[in-house]
Amino acid sequence: VSMVTDPGEDPADEQDEGLLLQRIALERDRDAFAALFKIYAPRLKAFLIRRGHAPAVAEDLVQDVMLTLWHKAHTYQEERGAVSTWLFRIAKNRGVDQLRKQHAAVVDPKDPCLVWPERQAHGDELLERSERSHSLHHELACLPDEQQTVLAAAYLEHKTMAQIASDHRVPMGTIKSRIRRALERLRSQMLDGSSP
Amino acid sequence: MSTARHHLPEDLLLAYAAGTCNPAEALFVATHLTLCPRCRSEVERLEAVGGEMLATIEREAVSSSLLEATLSRLDEPAPVTSAPRPQSDGVLPTPLLSLVGPLEQIRWSEKLFGAVKYLELPVERGGRPMRMKRIKRGQRIPEHTHDERELELYLAGGALDVGTHKRYQRGDVSTYEAGERHKLEVDADQDCILLCLDVRLIGTSLSSKVVYGLIGWD
C-alpha cells in the first residue's frame, strides 16, 4: 500500500506546459513528463473523483490519461486550446469509456466525411486566440457564485441540466439561462472559432 | 460542399463537451460534428471551459508511488485508445459507420408500404433502440408532433418543413420541441437518410394517425 501524500506546493505556475509537451513529443523527455505529471495527476484525480469514480479507480484512470499524454503528445495542437483543455478532453472520454465499457463517440479527424470550414482562420487569428485563452482563467473566477456553481455541476459533477435543476429545486429554464449567461460572458475570452 | 445551416441545441453541445451525454446523444452529436465545423468549434470553446475547470480544481494528492509506476510503463506499447477506423462509404461519418457499416450494405426493415424504412442501432435511449430512417424520395410526412423533443440529423437527401419553409440537407439537424406540430416533404431527387434521437410520435389528426399506422412510421 503506497502512501497518499499532501499534494504539496503547486508546480503549475512557473512551467510552460506547451513546451513540456513538445519536449515529450520530440525528445521523449521523461523529466518533462514527470513535470507535467506533478502538475496534472493531482488535478486529474480530483476531477475523476468528482465525476463519481472511487479514489483507487481514479488513480488507475490518471495513469491511463498520463500514458495517453506520453503516447499522443505529438497530436497536441496549441491552436485548439491549452494543454489543460487537451487533457480535459482525454480525461472525460476515458472516464466515459470506463463507465460504459465502450469507446466514447468522438469525431475522427481523418474521416473522409469531415466537413471543413469554408473560411480557414489565419495565423494571426490563431495567435490572438491563444492569447485570449489565457484570460479565460481570470474571467471564470469573476463569474457570480450561482453561475460558477452550475458550471461546476455541468463539467465536474457529471450532471445534466435536468439533474442540476432538480438539485437546486429551480426550473430547468433557470439553469439553462444561468449557464447561457456564464458561457456568454466567457465567450469573448474563449477560443474564437472560425464561424463568422 | 456547403456546411450545415441547422445546428445542435446548446444543451446537447454543452453535455457533449462536458462528457455527460448518454451514448445515443453522444453518437448523434459526434456524427453531426463531423459534418459541421461551426458546432465543432463551439464544442472546442466549451471544452476550453472544462480545461480551465481542470486547471483550477482543488488538487487531490496521489499515491507517492504513482509517478514511479507510471514512468515504468512509458516503454510499453501504446494502448489502443480508439476503435479501428472502418473504410469510409463517403456518406456515413465514422462514429455512425463504425456501428452500422457502409450505407449500401444496411439491411433496412421495411414496413407495410415501404415509404419509411428503419434500422435499429445497438445503442439505447430510454430503453428503446436508437434508429436510422430511410424515407422514400418525394414522400410527404403528414402533420404530427412528439411527446418530447425530436432531433433528426440529415445524412443524405433533404426535406422541406412545409410550415416554416426550413429546408434541411446533409449535416442539418431538425429540432422540434415537444408538442410542436410539423409536416415535411422529402426532396424528390433522392431518398432521405436520417439519424434520429427517437421519440414517440403522435399524429395530430385521425387520418394522420391512420396513415402513420399504415406506413409504420412509429
Confidence of residue A76 (pLDDT cuts 50, 70, 90): very high
Report the pLDDT value the prediction gives residue A104, as an integer from 0 to 100. 77
Across residues B84-88, what is the average pLDDT? 83
The residue assigned the cell 453522444 is: B26
- Chain A contacts in chain B segment 51-70 (CB below 8 A): 51-67, 69-70
Please indicate, yes or no, whether the overall pTM of this predicted structure exceeds 0.90. Answer: no
Report the pLDDT value the prediction gives residue A193, as an integer from 0 to 100. 42
Question: Which of B57, B124, B130 to mutate to test binding with chain A, by most A CBs within 10 Å of its CB?
Answer: B57
Q: How far is B190 from chain A (nearest CA, A)?
A: 19
Please give the share of chain B, as a percent, with pLDDT higher than 90. Answer: 66
**Of residues A37 and A129, more confidently modeled:** A37
Q: Could you tell me the three cell numbers for A92? A: 472525460
Q: How far is B178 from chain A (nearest CA, A)?
A: 15
Cβ neighbours, 10 Å, residue B182: 18
Report the pLDDT value the prediction gives residue B43, as an integer from 0 to 100. 94
Task: Give residue-wise pLDDT tens across range A150-176.
Answer: 998 888 887 888 889 999 899 988 998
Across residues B87-106, what is the average pLDDT? 94
> Per-residue DSSP letters for chain B?
-PPPSS---HHHHHHHHHT---HHHHHHHHHHHHH-HHHHHHHHHHHHHHHHHHHHSPP-PPBTTHHHHHHTTTTSPPP--SPPPPPP-SSS-HHHHHHH--GGG---EE-TTSSEEEEEEEEEETTEEEEEEEE-TT-EEEEEEESS-EEEEEEES-EEETTT--EE-TT-EEEE-TT--EEEEE-SSS-EEEEEE---EEESSHHHHHHHHHHT--
- Poorest-confidence range of B1-5, B60-64, B187-191, B203-207? B203-207
ipTM for this prediction: 0.84
Closest CA to A139 of A148, A150, A149: A148
Across residues B153-173, what is the average pLDDT? 97
Residues of B in contact with A85 (CB under 8 A): 44, 47-48, 50-52
Nearest to A118 among B3, B51, B93 (CB): B3
Distance in angstroms (rounded) separating the CA atoms of residues A10 and A18: 17
* Residue A122 clears pLDDT 70, i.e. is over it: no
**Of residues A188 and B162, more confidently modeled:** B162
Helix (H, G, I), strand (E, B) or coil at A185: helix
With an 8 Å Cβ cutoff, is B10 touching chain A?
yes
**Of residues A189 and B121, more confidently modeled:** B121
Please give the share of chain B, as a percent, with pLDDT higher than 70. Answer: 87
Distance in angstroms (rounded) separating the CA atoms of residues A107 and A97: 15
Distance in angstroms (rounded) separating the CA atoms of residues B117 and B111: 7
Report the pLDDT value the prediction gives residue A195, as an integer from 0 to 100. 38
Mean pLDDT of chain A: 83
Residues of B in contact with A76 (CB under 8 A): none
